[in-house]
A and B are shown apart, each in its own frame.
Chain A
Amino acid sequence: MPAPNASPDTAAGWMQNPVRLLVEQASYAYSVSDREAPDFTLGPVTFSARQREIVGILGANASGKSTLLRLLSGEFKALSGRIELDGTPPGQLPLRERAQRIALVHQESTLLFPLRVWEYVLQGRYPYGQRLRFENEADCLLAGNALEQVGAKALLDRRMSQLSGGERQRVILARALAQQPRLLLLDEPTRSLDIGGKVELMRRLRRLAEENRYTAVVVTHELNLAAEFFDSIVLLQRGKCLASGKPADVYRRELLEQAFETTLDVETNASGRPRVILRGDADMDALEANPDAAKESPSL
C-alpha cells in the first residue's frame, strides 16, 4: 500500500499512484440559527481517491451531496474528522492557492453582459498572478488548450449567449480546466443534457482524468452512468453515508432502496458493472404474479 501522504510531485510519488483526496470521518452540521440544534448533519463520511480516479456522490435530494462537495472545495470546514488534498486541508489554503488546485464546475448562471467564449475561459487563469492581472501568452495557450480538450476550440469567438446548452457546458468545463487543477468537482453536470450529451460528457471526463491525471468528484443522479464510468461511489441518505467503495459493492438492492425510497433492482452487465433497473407498474404486477420471471424483464 503506498504511503497516503506521498506527494505526486516527488519522483517516488509519481511512480506510485498515491491517494490524493482523503476524507476520513468528516462531518458537518448546519443550523439556521446559532442557538438551536443543527437542522442538518452530514457525516461521518469516509472515502479516498487517487489520481485519475472519478468518485461519484449519489443520493436522494437533500441527502447532503452538495454539502459534501462544498466541504471538499474548502468552502466549509469539517467539524470533525479530516479532509486532505495532497496532505493539506482545502479549507486552510488561501483562496488563490485553493483555486489553483481545486476547480468547481458549476451549473451555468445567467451572464448579464455579452462575453465571448475565449474571454470566459481566460478567466480560469485568474488564480495565477496578481489580483489586477493581464493575461499573457502562456495564459492564452493554456486556455486554448483547455477548449481543445473539451472539443470546443471552434467556439472560440462565439458569444456565450449564442451557445447551446451542451456547448455552454463544455465551455464551463474548459474554464475549470484552464485553472490547471488537481481536483475537479462537478455538481450535476449532466442535468440539462440529453442522453447523448450525458454519455459524451462522461466519456470526456474519463479521458480528461486519464490524460491530465485529475481526480474528479461528481455529484450526480445518473445511477447507471455513474456505475459505468466512475471508479468509486459514495452513497448518502439524509446526511448519513450508507456506503462507499466500488460501484459493484455499493449498488446493492437494499442500500439503493433505502437511499432512494423506491423499489429498484440491480443487475450486473457483461463488463462486471452493475445496472439499476426500474420496475414499472405492469412489471410489478407481473412480478407479484410470477416471481421467477424477474430476471427476464427488460432493463433501462
Chain B
Amino acid sequence: MTREVIDESGRRVAVPIDVRRIVSLAPNLTEIVYALGGQDRLVAVSNYSDSVPAAKTKPHVGMPMNPSLEAIVGARPDIVLAAAINQWETVDALARLGIPVYTTDPHTVEGMLESIKDIGGVIGASAQAATVVANLQQRLDALKTKLAGVPPARVLFVVWENPLISVGGHTFIADALRWAGAESVLHTKQNWPQISLEEVVRLKPDYLVFASNHAGDAASNAQRLAELRSEGGWQELPPVRDGRVAVISDEVNLPAPALIDAIEQLARELHPGAFKPARATHCSAGRFAAHADAGLHFDSRFAGRWPVAPSPNLCVEAVACGR
C-alpha cells in the first residue's frame, strides 16, 4: 500500500502507491502538479497559488507559512507536498497526525528539474514528469549554447527596494541568474543580504534586475524606470541613468517550470545579440506564441490549459515584431 522514500529534506516518508488526493502547500508545487497533469487529483492548495488561475477555484488551506492544519486534514489527502517555504513545524505536525508529507527543496535550477521528477514519481506521474523535464532541459541546453562565449552581465537582483535587499550566492535566484547569462555582483553567504546604496555604487553592476508579476506589461516597466529615476539615490546609479533596468516575471522566485521562461526572458534582455530576431507565428487563443527560430521550444500540449502566457514578454515581442 505504501512505499518508503526519502524526500529532499532527508525525512523518511511512507508514500501511498495509489495517490488520489494531493494537497499542495506552496505555489510552485501547485504549478508543478498542473504541469504534470495531476490537477484533477489536486484537492486543496495553499494561498497565493494564483500564478495558476485555474487553481483559484480549488479549496485553499491558508498561507504557505502558516496553513490551517484542520483544513489540510479535512481535505483527506493521500499525500501532502511541501516546499522550503513551509515551516518544518507544519511538516512535523502533519507527520505526527499520520499524514505523509513529501518535501522538495531545490537549490539550483537543475535541482528543480530533479524535484519535478521526484514529485512525478511520488504522485504517479513519472511519464509526464520525464517529458516535462526533458523539454525544460532542452530549453536550458539551447540557452547555454546561445550564451556560450558571451561574457556574463554583471547584475544586481533587487528583491526589495526599501530596505534594499538582494540575493546571496547560494540562493535559487542566483543560480537562475547564472543560467540567464548574468552574474550577481554580490558574493555573500547570506541568503537575503541587506545592503546600502553606497554598496551598489561601489559594486558597479551593469544591470538592475527586478521581478514583477506585471513583467510583460511595457507600460508598468516604463513606470518602474520612471519611479527609479525620480528617487533620490537611485537616480544617480548608472544603470538607472542609462535605462539598463530589466524587469522579469516573478516566476523567477519559484522553482517551477515557468522559471525557465523567466530565465529566457532575462537572457534576451541582457544579451539580445545572442538571439536571432524572433519569428512569431500566430498567437493562439491562449495567447501563446511559438518561436522556433529563437531556439525556444514550446510544448503545444499546454496550449489552452494555461490561459495566461508563461512569459508574456515573448508575446509582446511577437506583437511588436509583427512578423
Q: A and B: direct contact (Cβ < 8 Å)?
A: no
Q: Which residues of B contact A (CB under 8 A)?
A: none
